Amino acid sequence: MKLKTLLVTSLLTASAMAADNNVTQPLTVKQEGVKYIKMLGGALKTQLKAHMKKDPTGLDALAFCTGSADNITKEVNAKLPDYAKVRRTALKIRNNSVNTPDATDKKVMQAYESSIAAKTFTPKNIKVVQEGDVTRVYKPLIVKKVCLKCHGSNLDPKIADALKSAYPEDKAIGFKEGDLRGVIVAEIKKH
Ligand code: HEC
């Protein structure tokens, strides 16, 4: 009984201290990047879920992604401080007009792919890259079952047609569960 009380007390103290830290300590650049990544990831995920629920074939969600993924990205960026931005990219790109990776993006994603192949990967593996006065924070996006409707191999013909007409050069198909689909990257300038 005593031991239990002691444990509970120390747990409470630990969480009180953690809460205290949140209030008094400014976010590290990495934490700030993760916060912006979650804003974009969360906004897209909420919408995708709602549209998939409304129409399980995925056609409605596809129309939504085609028409609005970029707008949502812009909306989220409008809420960030001037020194920060957040975006998605991938090695195999669907929307090559906005999501094309640069050399640093490619390097980071290749490193993620190697760790997936070597089975040392964990989804919580956030990578931080310093480039001049910009810090980049990367979060990997792993293919889940729900992603396969529009990024997998056996696409519903209606989905395949809609994809072909919207993205004639679509490279973002043929994925399987557990593959790296891409990353969300936050870029934070020294300020
Ligand atoms: C209903 C169809 C659909 C589903 C389901 C879907 N996507 Fe996509 N995805 C798209 C479309 C359409 C685009 C291009 C949107 C744009 O213009 O940015 C896209 C683009 C992306 C991009 C941006 C890079 C690129 O290739 O342009 C990433 C990253 C991505 N999807 C990851 C995922 C992940 C991870 C899942 C599962 C959690 C998922 N998608 C599920 C349709 C879908």
Distance separating alpha carbons of residues 127 and 148, to the nearest angstrom: 25
74-to-43, 93, 160 alpha-carbon distances in Å: 11, 19, 27
> Which protein residues touch ligand 1 with a CB less than 6 Å away?
58, 61-62, 65-66, 69-70, 88, 90, 93-95, 98-99, 141, 143-144, 146-147, 149-151, 172, 181-182
Distance separating alpha carbons of residues 152 and 168, to the nearest angstrom: 17
Residue where the block lists tokens 């300020």? 191
pLDDT tens, position by position, 72-127? 999 999 999 999 999 999 999 999 888 999 999 999 999 999 999 999 999 889 99
**41: nearest Cα among 184, 188, 137:** 184
pLDDT tens, position by position, 143-191? 999 999 999 999 999 999 999 999 999 999 999 999 999 999 999 999 9
Cβ atoms within 10 A of the Cβ of 175, count?
20
Q: Are 188 and 137 in contact (CB under 8 A)?
A: yes
Distance separating alpha carbons of residues 159 and 176, to the nearest angstrom: 17
